Amino acid sequence: MGAKQKRSNGKTLLVEDGLFFNEGIEAAATLLKAGKVVVFPTETVYGMGGNIHSATAISSIFRIKGRPSDNPLIVHIFSKDQLTGLVEFTPDAALPLMNHFWPGPLTLVMNKRSSVSDMVTAGLQTVSVRMPSNSIALRLLRSAGVPVAAPSANLSGRPSITTFEEARLELEGKVDAIIDGGKTLFGVESTVLDVSRDPPLLLRPGAVTVEELRKYVRNLQVHPAAHGYASAESVVPSPGMRYRHYAPVNARVILFEGEGAIEALSSAAELCRRKGVSCASVVTSEADLAGTDVFISGSAERPETIARELFLLLRKLDRAGYEYILIEGIREEGMGLAVMNRIRRAATAVNPDVRSLLNHKNNRKLPP
């Protein structure tokens, strides 16, 4: 093992960029094969990976994340050859999608083989599979040689992790290895598309946009919950849609969207100042606001810029101790749909009457 690699808290192998990076990835792959838990970068967000053939690895993932056991995991592969071990057959609709989007941020839900563990699929008859395009992820998967189940690396309910630093802050001492891949390319998770049914159904909007998908799936359906408004009561086809998600630990996220959003957000920020409540304003560059406690999420014209910063901003502002994060919504075009899905699900209120919101001392956050 390379001299540059270190173990912290007697447990976590940190694989950092440098002379011994390749050896580090090999060491992480060996850990994976042995049923250990490895956090690794993908082009979307960091994942918390485990060998799908190891019951210990899969149960460790659920335990470390605090993930409800009825929320299935995505299986990551490096080669289409691995599919035959996972699915009964490849639906016709999947072929052009795999050809065009793999490797890349598209997850396909297909009928599983009976050999795929119920722990991975949370008892469902389907399994979701994706082939990431991140080169470190691909090297790790190839070297491990086994399919790797990997949810987003964040603790359950929290914003996803998009940098090595955030992964260390949240998971050092809890997992067996963390691989440094810098900042992830897209910043939001993969698009989840159910091709086990016809017409195919979009379950989670993500880094592959609906507009792109429609070029390859003419009869694409988009589940209403893709907009992020699903409630705990509603019947949803993807268990992950049911849970509160992406929320900071302490700060409450308040979404301002639609006509007059900037004006409402600005007056909320003004009220915060008057009342001495610490509020961060997160706005697009087009909103043309500036000042302390104002943070730019990206450009409304290029939602992919916002996707890349969103989770990191939520995490940093939460750590900075803000009580409220007032955030401007964007149009649901391109990656804007994925961005709004994440913001709505992180938010405790949308377009609220701000005066009553700040007055309300018992305005406690919902449990994740």
3-state secondary structure of 78: coil
**Structural contact between residues 202 and 210, judged by C-beta atoms closer than 8 angstroms:** yes
Q: Please confirm whether the linkage preceding 103 is cis (ω < 30° from 0).
A: yes
Number of residues that make up the chain: 368
Q: How far is the CB of 48 from Mg ion (least distance, A)?
A: 10
Contacted by 133, from Mg ion, ligand TXA, none: CB < 5 to 8 Å by type: none
Q: Which helix (H) or strand (E) holds 152?
A: none
Please identify, using beta-carbon distances, which residue of 103 and 352 lies nearer to ligand TXA: 103
Number of Cβ within a 10 Å radius of residue 51: 23
Q: Is 136 in the site for ligand TXA (CB under 6 A)?
A: no
Q: Is 268 in the site for ligand TXA (CB under 6 A)?
A: no
Q: How far is CA 308 from CA 43, 47, 183, 188, 196, in A?
A: 11, 16, 9, 7, 30
3-state secondary structure of 26: helix
Q: How far is the CB of 316 from ligand TXA (least distance, A)?
A: 20
Residue 16: φ, ψ to 5°: -110, 155
- Alpha carbon 270 to its chain centroid, in Å, reads 32
Residue closest to 192 by CA, chosen among 236, 247, 146, 139:
236
Q: How far is the CB of 35 from ligand TXA (least distance, A)?
A: 19
Q: Is 221 in the site for ligand TXA (CB under 6 A)?
A: no
Compute the C-alpha angle 329/335/340, nearest 5°. Answer: 30
List 4, 239, 285, 319, residue binding ligand TXA (CB under 6 A): 239
* Chain residue at closest Cβ approach to ligand TXA: 240
Residues in contact with ligand TXA, shown as a per-residue x/- string from 176 to 215 under the rule CB under 6 A: -------------xx-x----------xx-----------
Please identify, using beta-carbon distances, which residue of 51 and 190 lies nearer to ligand TXA: 190
List 51, 121, 209, 284, residue binding ligand TXA (CB under 6 A): 121
- Alpha carbon 152 to its chain centroid, in Å, reads 5
Q: Name the residues that contact Mg ion, by CB under 5 A.
A: 152
Q: Is 166 in the site for ligand TXA (CB under 6 A)?
A: no
List 14, 64, 73, 86, residue binding ligand TXA (CB under 6 A): 73
Q: Is 303 in the site for ligand TXA (CB under 6 A)?
A: no
**Structural contact between residues 166 and 249, judged by C-beta atoms closer than 8 angstroms:** no
Q: Is 269 in the site for ligand TXA (CB under 6 A)?
A: no
Binding residues for ligand TXA, rule: CB under 6 A, are: 42, 44-45, 47, 71-74, 105, 107, 109, 121, 124, 126-128, 150-152, 189-190, 192, 203-204, 238-240
